[in-house]
Chains A and B, each alone.
Chain A
C-alpha cells in the first residue's frame, strides 16, 4: 500500500515536473516574443541576454546545485566563444550549428580542466583557485594573439545562413530567434538533467558530501561530470555570442563577467533554473537602463543593488516569490 502511495506521489511529482517544464518553456517563448515585439530595434541586447542566460544557467548547475563557489565561470563561456570563433576564422567552419557544436566542445573541455583544478579545494581556497583560473585563461588568450587576436579581439567571423535558409541580417532577427531556440532546448534538457538521479546525487553532495561518499558514490566524479555539462552549456552561450556579434572580445574571459554572472544568479535565486533566468533578465535590463541614464553611477547602483539583495532577499527574487507563493498555498490548504 505504502509503496503504491509512494509510486503515485512520485508519478504525480513527475507529472508536475513535466507540467512545470512545459510552463517554463512557454514562459521563455512568450517573453521572447514580447521582447521581440517591444524592442524590435534592440534585438542585439536581447540576443546578448540569451547568451548570458546560458552562462548563468551553467553557473547555477555548479553553484546552485553542487554548491561549488566560483568566481571564474566566464572561463567556460569565453572558451566556448573562442572555440566557435577560431573554428570559423582559422578552419573555415562557418555553419552556425557547427560553430555552436565547436563552442559546446570547447566549453566542455574548459569545464573539465577547470573542474579538475577547482574541485581540489573547498571554501575560500576554491574561490581563489577559480579567480586564478579566470586570470590565467585571460592572460593566455591575450598572449596567443595569433589564434585569438589578443586584445583586439577575434574579428572576421562570418557565419553562413542558418540551415542554408536564414541569413544573419543586420537587425539580428535570425540571431535572436536562433538564440531563443537554443536557450529553450538547453532549458528543457537541463530540467531533465537536474531532475534525473544524477541531478539528485549532485544536490545530495551539496548537502552532505560525506554521507554521499558513505553511500558509495564518488562526489568528485559526479561534480566533475556536472562541471563538464556546465561547460557545455556555457560554451553554447559563448558560441551564440560569437555567432550573433561576429566578434569575440577578450572581455568574454574576464573576471568582471564572472562576477556579474554570479551576481545575476544570486539576484534571481540559486538552485533553480527559473531563478537563473529571472536574475539574468532583471540584471541585464537594469544594467542597460542605468548605464544609459547615467554611466557614472552605474557601478554604485550595482553595488547598492547587491547589498540590497543580500540584506532583503537572500533567496533571490525568484526564490523569495516562490517562497511567498508556497506559504500562501500552504495557508490555503
Chain B
C-alpha cells in the first residue's frame, strides 16, 4: 500500500513535469510542424539560469524562476529568427538534423561555461521537507510540481479555448494558409507561441530539476522522452499530451520502482505498443 502510494505520487509529479516541459513542444509541433529536438535544450538552459541566479546571485526561488523563463526566451528569440525560420515547411529529416545540431551546440556550450557537474537549484524552506497527510507524508516539492502542472494545464486550456488569441491559434493550427487569408497574422501567432513554448520549457526545467537533474547532457538524455510523449499524445492537443504524460510517467515510474534492473525497457515497449495502436497519438489531429 505504501509502495503503491509513493509510486502514484512520484508518477503524478513526474508526469506533470513532463507535461509542463513537453506541452510547448506539442504546441509548436502542431502549429509550425517543426520537429524540435532542441526543446529539451531550452528546458536545460532554464535550469542553468535558475541555478546561477539562485546559487551564485543569491536570489530567491521565485525570482530565479522568473529570470530563468525570461532569460531563456531572450536566448531563444535570436535562435528562432536565424535558424528555425529556415526550416519551417522543410522535410522532417532536415528539421531533425538542424535541431539536433542546435542541441549539440547548446550542450557543448553549457559544458564549457558551467562545467560537466550537476547543478542544483536550492529550494526555499517552504518547499523543502514533507507534508503530513495523516496516514502518509509526501515531499512538498512533489505537491508543488503537481500543482504547477495543473495550473499550466488550466491556464493553457483557458488561453486556447476562451481567448481571442486562442481562436487565432487554433485556426492557424488547422489551416495556416486559410487563417492568414482571413487576416490572422500567423507570423505573430507563431512568434508568440514559440516564446510561450520556450518559456514553459524553461519553467518545467526549473520546477522539475529535482526529478530531472540539470547537467549538460540533459538535453540529449530527455530529448527523446519529450518527443515520445508528444508523439504519443498527438501533436497540438493538450488533453492528449496530459494523458500521455500521466500514462508514460506512470509506466516509467512503476517500472523503476518494481523492476529497476530493467531500466526503461517497459517505457519504450509501451511507446511502441501505443504508437502502433494509435499512429496519430492518443488524441491526434496531426495529418
Identify the A interface with B (CB < 8 A). Answer: 63, 69, 71, 117, 120-125, 127-129, 131-133, 135-136, 139-140, 142-143, 255, 259, 262-263, 266, 270, 296-307, 309-311, 314
Q: Is the CB of A121 within 8 A of B275?
A: yes
Identify the B interface with A (CB < 8 A). Answer: 29, 35, 83, 86-87, 92-94, 96-98, 100-109, 111-112, 224, 227-228, 231-232, 235, 261-265, 268-269, 271-272, 275-276, 279-281, 286
Could you tell me the distance between the alpha carbons of A227 and B83 in the complex, rounded to whole angstroms? Answer: 33
Residue of B nearest to A310 (CB): B98
Interchain Cβ contacts under 8 Å between A and B, 19 examples: A117-B272, A117-B276, A125-B279, A125-B281, A139-B265, A139-B268, A143-B265, A262-B93, A262-B96, A298-B108, A300-B112, A303-B100, A303-B101, A303-B104, A307-B83, A307-B98, A307-B105, A311-B86, A314-B94
Q: Is the CB of A300 within 8 A of B94?
A: no
Residues in A with CB closer than 8 Å to B272 are: 117, 129, 132-133, 136
Could you tell me the distance between the alpha carbons of A261 and B158 in the complex, rounded to whole angstroms? Answer: 43
Choose from A120, A259, A299 the contact partner of B108 (Cβ within 8 Å): A299
Across chains A and B, which 8 residue pairs bring their CB atoms closest together, nearest first? Answer: A300-B108, A306-B101, A303-B104, A303-B105, A299-B108, A128-B231, A307-B101, A132-B268
Residues in B with CB closer than 8 Å to A117 are: 272, 276
Could you tell me the distance between the alpha carbons of A298 and B109 in the complex, rounded to whole angstroms? Answer: 10
Q: Is the CB of B111 within 8 A of A310?
A: no
Given contacts A124-B231, A303-B105, A306-B98, could you give 10 more A-B pairs where the C-beta distance is less than 8 Å?
A: A123-B92, A124-B235, A128-B227, A139-B262, A262-B96, A266-B97, A299-B104, A302-B104, A307-B98, A310-B97
Choose from B100, B263, B265, B275 the contact partner of A306 (Cβ within 8 Å): B100
Q: Known contacts A124-B92, A124-B231, A125-B280; is A143 also within 8 Å of B101 by CB? A: no
Q: Known contacts A140-B265, A297-B112; is A129 also within 8 Å of B104 by CB? A: no
Residues in A with CB closer than 8 Å to B87 are: 310
Residues in A with CB closer than 8 Å to B112 are: 296-297, 300
Q: Is the CB of A127 within 8 A of B105?
A: no
Q: Is the CB of A143 within 8 A of B227?
A: no
Instruction: For residue A202, give the distance in angstroms from its CB to the closest CB of chain B.
Output: 17
Instruction: For residue A69, give the distance in angstroms from its CB to the closest CB of chain B.
Output: 6
Residues in A with CB closer than 8 Å to B286 are: 123-124
Could you tell me the distance between the alpha carbons of A121 and B278 in the complex, rounded to whole angstroms? Answer: 10
Could you tell me the distance between the alpha carbons of A305 and B104 in the complex, rounded to whole angstroms? Answer: 10
Residues in B with CB closer than 8 Å to A314 are: 94
Could you tell me the distance between the alpha carbons of A139 and B235 in the complex, rounded to whole angstroms? Answer: 27
Choose from A121, A127, A131, A142 the contact partner of B279 (Cβ within 8 Å): A121
Instruction: For residue A224, give the distance in angstroms from its CB to the closest CB of chain B.
Output: 15
Q: Known contacts A300-B104, A303-B105, A310-B87; is A262 also within 8 Å of B97 by CB? A: yes
Choose from B104, B111, B228, B265 the contact partner of A128 (Cβ within 8 Å): B228
Residues in A with CB closer than 8 Å to B227 are: 127-128, 131
Instruction: For residue B92, give the distance in angstroms from its CB to the closest CB of chain A.
Output: 6
Could you tell me the distance between the alpha carbons of A142 and B271 in the complex, rounded to whole angstroms? Answer: 19
Q: Is the CB of A255 within 8 A of B224?
A: yes
Q: Is the CB of A129 within 8 A of B269?
A: no
Q: Is the CB of A310 within 8 A of B101?
A: yes
Could you tell me the distance between the alpha carbons of A120 and B261 in the complex, rounded to whole angstroms? Answer: 30
Q: Which of B83, B224, B232 has the most CB of A within 10 A?
A: B224
Could you tell me the distance between the alpha carbons of A309 and B286 in the complex, rounded to whole angstroms? Answer: 28
Q: Is the CB of B93 within 8 A of A266?
A: yes
Could you tell me the distance between the alpha carbons of A164 and B280 in the complex, rounded to whole angstroms? Answer: 55
Could you tell me the distance between the alpha carbons of A270 and B92 in the complex, rounded to whole angstroms? Answer: 14
Instruction: For residue B261, give the distance in angstroms from its CB to the closest CB of chain A.
Output: 7
